[in-house]
Amino acid sequence: MLVKERNEKTKRIIDKIEGLPVLPLTVKEIISLTAKADCTVDQIAEAIDPSLAIKILQVANSPYYRRYTKVKNLEHAISLLGFNVVRDLALGISLIKIFPPHKRGPFDYERFWQHSLLIAGISKILAKASGFHELGKVYTVSLIHNMGKIVIGLFMPDSLLKINALKKQRGLRNSEAEKIVLGMTHAEIGGDLAKKWKLPEDLIKIIKYHNQPEFLDEDPDLIKLCQLINCSTRIVKEYNFPNTKEMIKTLDQLCERLVSVIKEMVKIKEVVKKEGKIIVKDWKTKIHSELEELFQTVEGIISVFISRKLN
């Protein structure tokens, strides 16, 4: 492909990104509030707009949270679900609204969100257990690091077909095929989208270079965060969950897998441990509980906001 032609393709991609809506201010405010130690239920409730409140109530009353009484108001939902789950739901639901589901085409919309939500949740579990700071940032960037893929999938389905064909025919990696077809990778597209959303510079860098951590300016925190995301991605691909209903069957096995990964992270990566010694027994109990919560959150979002729209 000629350089001029490739540059024109790149410009068309950026133009498509420019036509996308921005990340809602509500979500940014919720993320900021839940990062504060003195955050209250009332503060979070005030930050959530009516449309998002209705959707959170839908998830809170879905069967996947197994509530014995109906959740009637937002404050009740926040208290039951917890600040972190509400934050994660707000971000996940808002992103799904930005990128509405398409019934046709080569892009597996439900699979993309299932994997993105799982990667974000597992990244946060690994970060917390290994002593990594800024857990809100870990979840946020883990969830959105592959946004370039959904831009390609929903707005350039013909290009996605060519990318998939090249991967199959030549045995190329995804980014290699994207570079041939588009002149840029999903990571570069995601970086441009993050700029449009006016996200912090460090998040933009991780999104753009999550497959090339050597370009992260030797910043140890960014490199560790990138390693967390890539490790979580490998785990999700390894288990290859056929659907969210099957996830619970792997709970014990996945818990053991994460504990093993954390041991290696603490030993090899020299991640700073909080409050002194980390006890493996405590890891297993905590991780098991957090995986249950994660599976419920993913199933709730998928069933309420994606599967119904696709069927």
Whole-number Å distance between alpha carbons of 108 and 113:
9
Contacts of 41 (CB under 8 A, 6+ apart): 75, 78, 79
Whole-number Å distance between alpha carbons of 59 and 81:
10
Give percent above pLDDT 70 in the chain: 83
What is the mean pLDDT of the segment spanning 106-112? Answer: 87
Q: Please report which confidence band the pLDDT of residue 269 belongs to, taking 50, 70 and 90 as the band edges.
A: very low
Whole-number Å distance between alpha carbons of 91 and 97:
10
**Residue 270 pLDDT exceeds 70:** no
Q: Please report which confidence band the pLDDT of residue 2 belongs to, taking 50, 70 and 90 as the band edges.
A: very low
Average pLDDT in the chain: 81
- Is 29 in contact with 86 (CB distance < 8 Å)? no
Q: Please report which confidence band the pLDDT of residue 1 belongs to, taking 50, 70 and 90 as the band edges.
A: very low
Whole-number Å distance between alpha carbons of 269 and 188:
27
43-73 pLDDT tens trace: 999 999 998 898 888 888 876 665 567 888 9
**pTM of the complete model:** 0.80
3-310 is classed in which CATH architecture? Orthogonal Bundle (1.10)
**pLDDT of amino acid 99:** 83
